Structures are given as C-alpha cells and as structure tokens.
C-alpha cells in the first residue's frame, strides 16, 4: 500500500512531466510550423538558407518560393520583420507556466541577421502578386536602417556603417508584387531621398523609369526628390566651404565662396554648390545673381548632373535668364541618364513659350526609352502649346 503523501508527490510529478511534455511538444510543433510550408521535402526556412548561401542565385530556391506562393509569405514576413505570431503564442503559453516548468522549457530564438531579411524580401519578390499581404512589411523595410554585420574571419572591424541591401531587395520586391499600388509608388519615390545610401536611390531610380500616366501626379515629387540634398548632412566633399561653425547653404554671404567652388575639380562639389546657389532664401536671391555667369559656364560642364543642376539653379535665381539654358536643355534630352532627361523636360515645361525652340526635341521625347519621360514630355508639350495658343488669342 502506497502512503497518501507519496501518492500526492507522485501525482504532482506526473502532472509536471505531462505539462513539460505538452509544452515541449507545442514548442516543437510551433517551431516546425514557423519554418514555413513544405516543398519537395524541404521547409521554406531551408529554401531561404539555400537562397542565402547562393547569394540569391539558386534557381531551385526561387522556383520553390514561386510554387509555395502565398503559403510561404507569412514565414517570409516573420523573417523580414523579425516578428513572429507563432513565437508570440509560444511565449504567451510559456509565461503562464509555473516557474520550474518555465525554466525547463526551451526559449524561442529568432534570427537577427540582415542577410536573412534581404533574401526574405528577395523571396517575396519571386512570389510576386500572390505576396500582396507582405506589402506593409516591405514598405516598412525600405525605410529601416540595416546594421552592417562584418565577417571576423576577413579581419574587418565593426563600426558605424550600414547595409542598404534589405532595403534594395524590398524595393525590387514591391515593384514585382504591386507596381500599380499608390502606396508602393509613394514609398519608392520617397526612397529617392536616401542619397547617403546611394544604392537605395539608384535602385529606386531603376524601377521608377517605368512609371506610367496613371501616376502622372507623382512625377513632380519624383523630380523634386531626384534633386534632393539633405541639409542636415555635411557636404562631405566640400569641408572648406562648409566648415564647422561656418555659413550654411541658404545665406547670401555664402555666394562668393559658392561661386568660386563652381570651378572645383570634384564634380560632386560643383553639383552641391550649384544646388545650394539655387536654393538660397528668397530675400537673398538677388545677391545670387552674381553667380549667374558661373552657372552659365557650368552648362558646359563635363559632368551631366552638374549641367542640369546649374540649369535648375539659373531658373530659380533669375527667371529672365531661362532662355540662355534652352540649348543646353535640348542637348540634355539626348543624355543616356533618364533622370537627367526628365529634369530637362520639366525645366522646359516650366519655361512655357521660352521653350518653343525645344518643341521638336520634346516631340521626339514622346518615344523615350523611359516611360516616365514620355509621360512628362507629353505634359510639357500640352502646357507649352496651350500657353502659345492663349497668347496668340490674346493679341
């Protein structure tokens, strides 16, 4: 006969063991589920590992995600956001356990690795439109800073550097999933301002070349963001012109120094100062007219970005000088960089009748390789021709 005290202890022990078995079983089941659906005997997590180890080049892994489609999207979103509903459920169950069981149960570890986030976004792009539910997570990723993880075996040291690769993959995925979505378009347009992570800007530029007439209203913002300089950041290439405690861009007292810097050997310096001359505070713009001869000379600069920035600065400083820029703008319409052609079209659009000599070039731009340039060239032609017609009727 077993004493009643022993019976109670044995009963509690059995309950503890049973509870532990149940929690561990739940953990195993949730972990397996959290690794995503199966395809050809491998979980989505394994296919993602293969995508990572092949640096996105595994055709089999890409096909696996295409075949799994929307079933794989929740797993990939968890990897992308570093959040997991299944993990939250497990932690909720675990937190309600007695202390002894809580300590005995396994903890749920999550990957905190930008490479997993990068290739999770890549995989979502392979899924395409069926991954629509992932759009909010991808939009969040585009604006999220990724800490760069160095490889100790290479002797690289850590530091305040960042990797933009997950953001780039998110931009590419968004365009594959839903390029017609207003929220996707506005996110990619905003990414043009990430100039200090220039790879992000360049990938946003690549996808926006195909922006169609349905998003014509977004084109002015595209152009503005292409010209964007973040004034909170120092001009790294021009420390002599913007020393600590010195005059920042936007003040008339900076004009002589900026004008001289238009001759600097660094094209990015010339671009920066041309931009700053064109963005002086309105009361200081008359002083900036002293820089017009230097800006006109910059219309012949070897660097195409300097040329278009100088043309924009001339227009902002003194509208009456616009006509001097028309020949340069016509030449810029033949440049290989579509963003330069787009900005040139926009300046001609603003000039109205002053841009009459550019009408043949604008008509040719209706067949431009970049759809966004076609759309804006049509808008420019409409506005210029409408102004010419109105002026003719008023005489």
CA 273/CA 248 separation, integer angstroms = 11
Number of domains in the chain: 2
**Same structural domain for residues 135 and 172?**
yes
**Same structural domain for residues 261 and 212?**
no
**Same structural domain for residues 219 and 257?**
no
Q: Which residues does 46 contact at the CB level (< 8 Å), separation at least 6?
A: 35
**Residue that terminates a domain, selected from 226, 242, 272:** 226
**Same structural domain for residues 167 and 311?**
no
**Same structural domain for residues 362 and 325?**
yes
Query: What are 245-277's pLDDT values in tens digits?
Result: 444 555 678 888 888 889 888 888 888 889 888
**Residue that terminates a domain, selected from 179, 208, 226:** 226
**Same structural domain for residues 133 and 205?**
yes
- Residue 54 inside a domain? The answer is yes
- Residue 8 inside a domain? The answer is no
- Residue 98 inside a domain? The answer is yes
**Same structural domain for residues 267 and 184?**
no
* Average model confidence (pLDDT) across the chain: 81
Mean per-residue pLDDT, 148-177: 71
Cβ count near 58 (within 10 Å): 17
- Residue 42 inside a domain? The answer is yes
Residue 242 pLDDT level (bands cut at 50, 70, 90): low
CATH of the domain at 210: 1.25.10
Higher pLDDT: 104 or 43? It is 43
Residue 12 pLDDT level (bands cut at 50, 70, 90): low
- Residue 242 inside a domain? The answer is no
- Residue 9 inside a domain? The answer is no
Domain that holds residue 273: 252-394
- Residue 27 inside a domain? The answer is yes
Check the CA dihedral 241-244-249-255 and report its sign.
negative
Residue 37's pLDDT is what?
92
CATH of the domain at 322: 1.25.10.10
**Same structural domain for residues 272 and 191?**
no
**Same structural domain for residues 204 and 285?**
no
Query: What are 179-231's pLDDT values in tens digits?
Result: 999 999 999 999 999 876 668 999 999 999 999 999 999 999 999 999 887 66
**Same structural domain for residues 263 and 184?**
no
**Same structural domain for residues 166 and 34?**
yes
Higher pLDDT: 289 or 110? It is 289
Contact call for residues 222 and 372 (beta carbons, < 8 A): yes
The reported pTM is 0.79
Residue 28 pLDDT level (bands cut at 50, 70, 90): very low
The least confident of 64-73, 96-105, 213-222, 378-387 is 96-105
Instruction: Say which residue the tokens 């790879």 belong to.
Output: 199
With 80 as the cut, is the pLDDT of residue 342 above it?
yes
Tokens coding 188: 């990619």
Contact call for residues 384 and 348 (beta carbons, < 8 A): yes
CA 74/CA 329 separation, integer angstroms = 49
- Residue 43 inside a domain? The answer is yes
CA 285/CA 289 separation, integer angstroms = 7
**Residue that terminates a domain, selected from 181, 211, 226:** 226
**Same structural domain for residues 189 and 290?**
no
Q: Taking the CA of residue 161 as centre, how many other CA atoms within 13 Å lie in the half-sphere pointing to its CB?
A: 9
**Hey, which of 113-117, 158-162, 328-332 has the most confident mean pLDDT?**
328-332
């Amino acid at each position: 006969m077993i004493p009643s005290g022993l019976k109670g202890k044995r009963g509690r022990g059995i309950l503890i063991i049973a509870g532990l078995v149940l929690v561990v079983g739940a953990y195993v089941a949730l972990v397996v589920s959290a690794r995503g659906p199966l395809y050809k005997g491998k979980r989505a997590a394994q296919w993602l590992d293969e995508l990572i180890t092949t640096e996105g080049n595994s055709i089999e892994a890409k096909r696996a995600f295409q075949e799994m489609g929307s079933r794989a999207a929740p797993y990939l979103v968890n990897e992308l956001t570093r959040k997991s509903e299944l993990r939250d459920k497990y932690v909720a169950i675990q937190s309600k356990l007695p202390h002894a069981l809580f300590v005995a149960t396994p903890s749920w570890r999550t990957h905190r690795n930008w490479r997993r986030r990068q290739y999770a976004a890549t995989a979502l792009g392979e899924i395409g439109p069926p991954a629509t539910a992932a759009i909010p997570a991808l939009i969040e990723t585009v604006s999220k800073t990724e800490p760069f993880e160095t490889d100790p075996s290479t002797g690289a040291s850590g530091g305040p550097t960042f990797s933009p690769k997950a953001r780039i993959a998110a931009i590419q995925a968004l365009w594959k999933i839903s390029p017609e979505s207003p929220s996707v378009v506005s996110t990619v347009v905003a990414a043009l301002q990430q100039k200090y992570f220039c790879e992000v800007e360049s990938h946003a530029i690549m996808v926006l070349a195909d922006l169609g007439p349905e998003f014509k209203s977004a084109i002015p913002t595209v152009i503005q963001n292409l010209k964007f300089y973040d004034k909170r950041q120092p001009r790294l290439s021009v420390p002599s012109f913007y020393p600590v405690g010195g005059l920042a861009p936007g003040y008339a007292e900076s004009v002589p120094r900026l004008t001289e810097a238009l001759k600097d050997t660094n094209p990015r310096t010339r671009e920066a100062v041309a931009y700053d001359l064109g963005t002086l505070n309105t009361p200081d713009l008359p002083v900036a007219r002293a820089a017009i001869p230097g800006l006109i000379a910059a219309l012949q600069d070897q660097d195409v970005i300097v040329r278009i920035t100088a043309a924009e600065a001339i227009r902002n400083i003194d509208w009456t000088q616009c006509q001097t820029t028309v020949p340069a703008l016509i030449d810029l319409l033949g440049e290989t960089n579509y963003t330069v052609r787009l900005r040139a079209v926009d300046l001609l659009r603003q000039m109205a009748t002053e841009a009459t000599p550019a009408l043949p070039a604008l008509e040719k731009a209706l067949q431009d390789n970049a759809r966004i340039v076609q759309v804006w060239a049509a808008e420019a032609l409409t506005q210029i021709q409408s102004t010419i017609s109105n002026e003719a009727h008023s005489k």
